[in-house]
Structure formats: structure tokens, C-alpha cells
């Protein structure tokens, strides 16, 4: 199907060689997976929505000077990105208790956390992405102490920015997972945001109804996954595919 050389295929995305050195093409698949791919379905159109939503979020982050791998969207399913060396960690930021935090620590789902919490998970499917501490990360050389500092500082900025962005369109950012990569430029290396930010990697709840608008619809068999993703895109003002790709920007939802 593609004329490009495949570099890597994951559960929801494929990376191809880019048009110039130092670039890659990130392709968004329609595959929905959960529980380390034990549950797997094709959700027609999910890749297109995630491409658009992630593009929008990364573009806004680039605009506020937060370094990301995103260069530009190429088409409905592909974006051009900077090639980085992925740090093998999933960085999770939480504002409200849900998912594995609620399960592990017995904190009721939906309770607002006393402060935002950052967690690290080691990216390893065979081990089921175990939670790890900074001690493990530095001892096993997955990232250095300054890289951990950079990731935490960027994660907090991303959380503050995205919490506001989503709140403005009536969505509560409960938690999300991000990944970072090392970008080598001349003799310099810096840590930048990589991967994607989409309803696949975030928990997004409607502010008023607390309806889930994210991958939990798939994980928990709630149905309406695609509709929920479409609603997220629509509220961000990026839904209509016949319109120019830049979108109209977020639409303010007034709280009463
Ligand atoms: N998450 C993700 N990929 C993973 C694990 C988690 O994108 O492999 C996201 C998930 O969508 C949620 C956040 O990270 O927004 C925290 O997930 P949690 O640790 O609660 O795990 P889960 O309950 O999804 O197993």
C-alpha cells in the first residue's frame, strides 16, 4: 500500500521513512486495542479522527513553545514528524483518580487528586508496561536524571495547557499518557514530546454529565467510541473534513 519503507509498526500507528533525513511519517491505523492487545477491534475512522485531534493538540503545543516532534499533517491518516530516539517510558499525568490508580490504591474513581500526579511506566509489552520509580529509570539507564527533570517539567506544562484547552470546550482532562524522545541536532540533544495525544491516550469526561469521551468506551464495552471521538474533535472545532484543515479553533462552552 505504501511506497515508503516501514520503520516500525505498533498497535495503533505505523512509522515510515520520511521524505528527508531526520523525518518520519506517522500513520494512524483504525485498530483499537486494550489490555495489552488482548482486546482488539477495527474501528472504522478512528485513525482519521486521532490524526486530526493529535495534530491540533501538537500544533497548539508547538505554538506555546513546547517542543514536539510534530511538523505537519500530510493527509487524513498521516503526519510528518521529526525522527527521535524514543525514551522507553510512558509518562502518565493524573488530575482525577481513575483506571489503574483507583484500582491499585483504592481511590474512588472521580475524586479530584490533591495535586497532579506524574507516574512512569516502563514500555515493555512482555512485562505489561510495569510502573517504575525514578530509581529504576536511572539505575537501568532508561533516562538520566536531567532527562527525568525535563520530562516532568514538560509534562506539567502540557497538563496545565491541555486542562485549560479541554475545559474551555466542556471536557475534563482526567489523565493522559505521553511519550518523549531524544532529538539530536548538530552536537546537541534535547528531550521533546513524541507519539500522539488523542482520546486513545487520554481520559476525557464531559464536564457536566461526566460521560466518557475516550478509549474507556472501548475498554469497558460502553459503545459509541467513534461518536465520542467525533464529539471531542467537533468541540475542538476540527471536525468537518470538508473544511480547511486548520479548523475554527475551540468553541467556548459556558458553564452555568
Ligand atoms: N494509557 C495509554 N496507554 C497505555 C496505558 C495507559 O494511553 O498503555 C493512558 C490511559 O488512556 C489513561 C492514562 O494513560 O488516560 C492512565 O491509564 P491507567 O494507568 O489508569 O491505565 P488503564 O486503566 O488504562 O490500564
**Average pLDDT in the chain:** 95
User: Cβ atoms within 10 A of the Cβ of 201, count?
Assistant: 20
Query: Which residue has its alpha carbon closest to ligand 1 atom 3?
Result: 201
pLDDT given at position 245: 43
Q: Which residues contact 108 (CB under 8 A, 6 or more apart)?
A: 97, 102
pLDDT tens digits, 158-214: 999 999 999 999 999 999 999 999 999 999 999 999 999 999 999 999 999 999 999
Cell of 99: 483506571
Pocket test of ligand 1: the residue of 94, 175, 220, 225 to mutate, having most ligand atoms within 8 Å of its CB, is 175
Task: Taking residues 19-33, report their average pLDDT.
Answer: 97
Q: What is the pTM of this model?
A: 0.93
Distance CA 200, CA 61 (A): 18
Q: How far is the CA of 23 from the centre of ligand 1 (A)?
A: 28
Residue with cell 511519517: 25
Dihedral angle sign, alpha carbons of residues 149, 150, 154, 155: negative
Query: Which residue has its alpha carbon closest to ligand 1 atom 5?
Result: 177
Q: In the chain, count of helices (H) and strands (E)?
A: 6, 14
Instruction: Determine whether the shortest distance from the Cβ of 215 to ligand 1 is under 6 A.
Output: yes
Q: Which of 162, 3, 196, 191 lies closest to 81 in space, CA to CA? A: 196
Query: Which residue has its alpha carbon closest to ligand 1 atom 13?
Result: 176
What is the helix (H) or strand (E) element at residue 148, kind and residue range?
Answer: helix 145-167
Q: How far is the CA of 130 from the centre of ligand 1 (A)?
A: 12
Instruction: Determine whether the shortest distance from the Cβ of 100 to ligand 1 is under 6 A.
Output: yes
Instruction: Determine whether the shortest distance from the Cβ of 202 to ligand 1 is under 6 A.
Output: yes
Residue 212 Cα distances to 54, 215, 220, 221, angstroms: 18, 8, 10, 12
Instruction: Determine whether the shortest distance from the Cβ of 150 to ligand 1 is under 6 A.
Output: no
Domains of the chain: 6-84+225-240 (3.30.200.20), 85-206 (3.30.470.20)
Pocket test of ligand 1: the residue of 92, 105, 107 to mutate, having most ligand atoms within 8 Å of its CB, is 92
pLDDT tens digits, 200-254: 999 999 999 999 999 999 999 999 999 999 999 999 999 865 554 444 566 667 6
pLDDT given at position 221: 97
**Would residue 56 be called left, alpha or beta, if left means φ above 0 and alpha means ψ between -120 and 50 degrees?**
alpha
pLDDT tens digits, 136-153: 999 999 999 999 999 999
Instruction: Determine whether the shortest distance from the Cβ of 231 to ligand 1 is under 6 A.
Output: no
Instruction: Determine whether the shortest distance from the Cβ of 235 to ligand 1 is under 6 A.
Output: no
Amino acid at each position: 500500500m505504501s511506497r515508503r519503507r516501514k520503520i516500525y509498526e505498533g498497535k495503533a500507528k505505523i512509522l515510515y521513512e520520511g521524505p528527508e533525513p531526520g523525518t518520519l511519517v506517522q500513520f494512524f491505523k483504525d485498530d483499537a486495542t486494550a489490555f495489552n492487545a488482548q482486546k482488539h477491534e477495527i474501528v472504522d475512522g478512528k485513525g482519521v479522527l486521532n490524526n486530526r485531534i493529535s495534530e491540533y493538540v501538537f500544533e497548539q503545543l508547538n505554538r506555546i513553545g513546547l517542543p514536539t516532534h510534530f511538523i505537519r499533517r500530510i493527509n487524513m491518516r498521516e503526519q510528518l514528524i521529526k525522527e527521535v530516539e524514543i525514551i522507553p517510558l510512558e509518562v502518565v499525568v493524573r488530575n482525577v483518580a481513575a483506571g489503574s490508580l483507583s484500582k491499585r490504591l483504592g481511590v474512588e474513581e472521580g475524586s479530584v487528586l490533591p495535586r497532579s500526579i506524574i507516574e512512569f511506566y516502563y514500555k515493555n509489552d512482555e512485562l505489561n508496561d510495569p510502573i517504575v520509580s525514578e530509581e529504576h529509570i536511572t539505575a537501568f539507564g532508561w533516562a538520566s536524571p536531567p532527562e527525568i527533570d525535563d520530562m516532568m517539567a514538560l509534562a506539567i506544562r502540557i497538563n496545565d495547557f491541555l486542562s485549560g484547552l479541554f475545559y474551555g470546550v466542556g471536557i475534563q482532562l482526567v489523565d493522559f499518557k505521553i511519550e518523549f524522545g531524544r532529538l539530536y541536532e548538530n552536537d546537541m540533544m534535547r528531550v521533546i514530546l513524541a507519539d500522539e495525544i488523542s482520546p486513545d491516550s487520554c481520559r476525557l469526561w464531559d464536564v457536566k454529565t461526566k460521560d466518557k469521551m475516550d478509549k474507556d468506551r472501548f475498554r469497558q464495552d460502553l459503545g459509541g467510541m467513534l461518536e465520542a471521538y467525533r464529539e471531542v474533535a467537533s468541540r475542538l472545532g476540527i471536525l468537518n473534513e470538508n473544511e480547511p484543515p486548520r479548523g475554527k479553533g475551540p468553541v467556548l462552552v459556558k458553564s452555568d
